[in-house]
Structure 1
Amino acid sequence: MGGTLTGIRIVELGGIGPVPHAGMVLADLGADVVRVERPGSDVTEMSSDQLLRGKRVVLADLKSAAGRAGVAGLLALADVALEGFRPGVVEKLGIGPADCAAANPRLVFGRMTGYGQDGPLAAAAGHDINYIALTGALHAIGGADPVPPLNLLGDFGGGSLFLVTGVLAALVERERTGRGQVVDAAIVDGVSVLMALIFSARDRGWWRDERSANLLDGAAPFYRTYRCSDGRHVAVGALELPFYAALCRGLGLPDAELPDRDDPANWPELSRRIGEVFLAHPRSHWESVFSGTDACVSPVLAIDEVAGHPHMAARGSVRHGTDFTVVAPAPRFSDSHPGPVVPATVLDLDAAAARWV
């Protein structure tokens, strides 16, 4: 049985970060994704690149008339285009949204940028850290200084997944109207949507606009990480009172003898008391103590530990393949199942087009 997007044809114009990640998610859901790479790209590296899995790769020089014509031919047969160039680049190449719509009015044209297709910074260079800096998210994360949360928040959370959402919504609307449209997915917009709760909390007076002073930013002693005696860490998420009570029982700290957790003035002392107990034993000890409880205590796993964790292994969320780590497609469906995760394959332009004719 194929995936939910079986039969959907996607052309992904080569790039890094959120565009290939979006293409990976759509390929995982069953779409037929053809990625256009520059001639000279190292095809030997593609088999271990998770972001290219399940795709067919063609090499085409978009600076040449022949390369542009070949890619334009693919776009004329596609349902979706994905691109992540700066605004105006694909228009100069003659494969912009208007050019494609003239040949294929049903095409959904997904555009991924950091700052969007318009605005004072639209043409500016940037990376994840720059985009999330403008949204308030980077300011809120970290201790004394802001800390970039890898490139998960901007490139993938506020970027790739909003591009995927926009493309899917546009495909649904196309079923009603018969027409495709342009999806302007900007990382600054997507991350701002992700920040909606924090903006709301600030407006309602229960979030301070400073780091390490709030419920969810590591200040609260019942929502933070603690170091264990072996140098490893546990994550504590005991927000609700029953969970907090279970945490205190596991630590052997009578709740009644601890400072009032609802008063932020007590948080430093409460964190110190809890931290001293966690520091007395290795992480494995606390995993055993809190196993089967609702204390919301989890081991902070190193990347190499993830695939071996019993829950992650049972779901197959992450597993070690022969040559590289395989991350399972998500989400999962009751009635449709994409094929196995396979490495990218390389075709020439003519062969890629022939498959779609």
Structure 2
Amino acid sequence: MLEGIRIVEIEGIGPGPFAAMMLADLGAEVITVQRPGGAPLPGMPLRNLLDRGKRTIALDLKDPADRRVLDALIARADGLIEGMRPGVMERLGLGPSDCHALNPRLVYGRMTGWGQTGPRATEAGHDLNYIALSGALWYASPPGQPPITPPTLVGDIGGGALYLVAGMLAGLIGAGRSGRGTVVDAAIVDGSAHMMALVMTMQAGGLFRTERGQSILDGPHWSRSYACADGGFFSVQALEAKFYAEFLRILGLDDDPDFARQNDPATWPRATERLTALFASRPRDHWAALFAGSDGCAAPVLSPAEAMADPHLAARSTWMEMDGMMQPAPAPRFDGQIPRPGAAPGRDAHRAEILAELGLS
């Protein structure tokens, strides 16, 4: 879908590379400008999954000869992605005004945690800090327990990378219409707060309360995961009345008075206690087989390796193995086609061909 779009990525870690990978998955030509030497983060492989489908070249941004190469790349690009702290690119002479002098149509994407402005803009932080401050972490555990979330997913990827992708796409459409570029300020603290819009709508309707454990998805026995006899876990979220009825029918609890008032918070603790004991009595796969093919809104909690072997995900090729690595297939899909990502290159792998294309030695 993005064939013909050129993106220059200034190598970083986390959400910026993920956003550039997603644009490459969608067909954009992405050239990652890497720092000379090893990987940007200790322990990261030299063949990085987030570089799949990209081309790579190592450049020293403070070296005049390498800067001429980068300037030539920027002049021919539709977009640029960087994830430095605010002010770093300006000090390098690569801020938005510098790059727009080279290319007025450039969509300049900036990926940070706190944003380009505000009292915390220059502070260090990570995924958990951003979503803690934005409010997105508030409901992320049972009441009385410290919030915990899947690492990097809610903040770095959900509130960060995906919002940068949306901003880049909107900016590219705007540049195509007006001939003028723009600056995309994608801050994880903003994006993760924006993702709370549905919860805030439910709060306005009385379905969510500030007190944890008292809201429609935050406290009920029918909206949580349970431990099973074999140490596995099983998820339940039977929200609508008809699905809750099916959930109870499958478990043989449809006439049980402890489960009669689905949305009465006073009944949730007792119902949760009973379901905890019930699910703990059998292994996870017993419950998975029992609910298979039903509308009971229940599913096993799988590891990524188990997910790859799941019949539904296998049928959709949601997970794949490529270059010796397990990795997710590109998403979304278009016209029902199962996309296949490009290979993950090594570092500085395309120097010669990129320089040749630019007419540089």
Report TM bin, short chain. Answer: over 0.9
CA change 1:106–1:336 in 2 (3 A) is farther
CA change 1:165–1:353 in 2 (3 A) is farther
Supply the AA of the counterpart residue of 2:244: Y
What stretches of structure 1 of length at least 5 have no aligned partner? none
Name whichever of 246-255 and 103-112 sits farther off: 246-255
Q: CA deviation at 1:338?
A: 5.7
Residue in 2 that maps onto 1:196: 197
C-alpha contact (below 8 Å) 2:137/2:149 kept by paired residues: yes
In 2, the alpha carbon distance for the partners of 1:108 and 1:354 equals 25
Residue in 1 that maps onto 2:249: 249
Q: CA deviation at 1:129?
A: 1.1
Supply the AA of the counterpart residue of 1:120: P
Supply the AA of the counterpart residue of 2:86: P
What's the secondary structure of 1:10's corresponding residue?
strand
C-alpha contact (below 8 Å) 2:112/2:188 kept by paired residues: yes
Residue in 2 that maps onto 1:18: 15
Q: CA deviation at 1:42?
A: 4.6
Q: CA deviation at 1:348?
A: 5.3
In 1, the alpha carbon distance for the partners of 2:327 and 2:350 equals 27
Supply the AA of the counterpart residue of 2:181: G
C-alpha contact (below 8 Å) 1:73/1:353 kept by paired residues: no
Residue in 2 that maps onto 1:69: 68
Residue in 1 that maps onto 2:232: 232
Q: CA deviation at 1:185?
A: 0.7
Among candidates 348, 352, 355, match of residue 354 of structure 2: 352
Q: CA deviation at 1:188?
A: 1.0
Name whichever of 63-72 and 31-40 sits farther off: 63-72
Supply the AA of the counterpart residue of 2:200: F
What's the secondary structure of 1:220's corresponding residue?
coil
CA change 1:172–1:331 in 2 (3 A) is same
Name whichever of 35-44 and 82-91 sits farther off: 35-44
Q: CA deviation at 1:343?
A: 1.6
Q: CA deviation at 1:140?
A: 2.2
In 2, the alpha carbon distance for the partners of 1:172 and 1:111 equals 17
Identity of aligned residues (%): 47
What stretches of structure 2 of length at least 5 have no aligned partner? none
Q: CA deviation at 1:356?
A: 6.1
What's the secondary structure of 1:247's corresponding residue?
helix
Q: Deviation string for 1:220-276 (max 9, x for gaps)?
A: 111111111111111111111111111111111134533422210110101112222
In 2, the alpha carbon distance for the partners of 1:186 and 1:203 equals 26
Q: CA deviation at 1:339?
A: 5.5
| TM-score, L = length of structure 1 | 0.93
Residue in 1 that maps onto 2:131: 132
Q: CA deviation at 1:45?
A: 2.9
Aligned positions of 1:310-349 closer than 5 A: 310-321=311-322, 323-334=324-335, 340-345=341-346, 346-347=348-349, 349=351
| 1:117 and 2:110 matched | no
Residue in 1 that maps onto 2:299: 298
What's the secondary structure of 1:326's corresponding residue?
strand
In 2, the alpha carbon distance for the partners of 1:328 and 1:205 equals 39
CA change 1:338–1:178 in 2 (3 A) is farther
C-alpha contact (below 8 Å) 2:329/2:340 kept by paired residues: no
Q: CA deviation at 1:58?
A: 0.7
CA change 1:138–1:335 in 2 (3 A) is closer
Residue in 2 that maps onto 1:166: 167
Figure out how many residues of one structure are paired with residues of the other and give that number. Answer: 352
In 1, the alpha carbon distance for the partners of 2:352 and 2:118 equals 39
CA change 1:120–1:208 in 2 (3 A) is same
In 1, the alpha carbon distance for the partners of 2:154 and 2:345 equals 26
Q: CA deviation at 1:353?
A: 4.5
CA change 1:5–1:340 in 2 (3 A) is same
Q: CA deviation at 1:288?
A: 1.3
Higher relative contact order (CA 8 A, sep 6+): 1
Residue in 2 that maps onto 1:175: 176
In 2, the alpha carbon distance for the partners of 1:202 and 1:238 equals 19
Supply the AA of the counterpart residue of 1:230: D
Measured on the aligned residues, the alpha-carbon RMSD in Å equals 2.0
C-alpha contact (below 8 Å) 1:238/1:247 kept by paired residues: yes
C-alpha contact (below 8 Å) 1:60/1:349 kept by paired residues: no
C-alpha contact (below 8 Å) 1:71/1:349 kept by paired residues: no
